[in-house]
Amino acid sequence: MLDLDLINNKTIGIKINGEIVKVKPPSYSLVLRTKHFFNNIEEIENKEDEQNIILLEFLNNNLNNKEFVKDDLMQMCEKALGALSNLLLELIMGIESDPN
């Protein structure tokens, strides 16, 4: 039996400011938006804004009901944002190679 609830409700723990936020896997719409961003990065005018929107959508899909805003991202160092972006990309690549 394919249990989609089990797949959709799997979480990734991300520790932010001492709190572990249980983020769900990227939704299909977020996967498409992320792919569009990277496939068209040269044509996108506000790259930072679009990247922030993508990262916030990823972070805000959590079981803690915690809502992140742009200022939360702005308070992070560049290395932390890079790590978050890399995690999202790794999750997307993992979804594509192993849907279970």
Compute how many other C-beta atoms are within 10 angstroms of the C-beta atom of residue 58: 26
Written as one letter, the residue type at 23 is V
**Bridge partners, residue 13, by sequence:** 22
Structure confidence at residue 16 (pLDDT) = 94
Q: Which residue has the tokens 């249980």?
A: 22
pLDDT beneath 70: ranges in the chain: 95-100
- The predicted model scores a pTM of 0.87
pLDDT for 8 equals 85
Digit-coded pLDDT (tens) for 40-58: 999 999 999 999 999 999 9
Please report the pLDDT score of residue 9 as a whole number: 85
CA-to-CA distance for 98 and 83, rounded, in angstroms?
22
11, 26 Cβ separation under 8 angstroms: no
Domain ranges of the chain: 4-97
Q: What gap in Å lies between CA 82 and CA 41, rounded to an integer?
A: 16
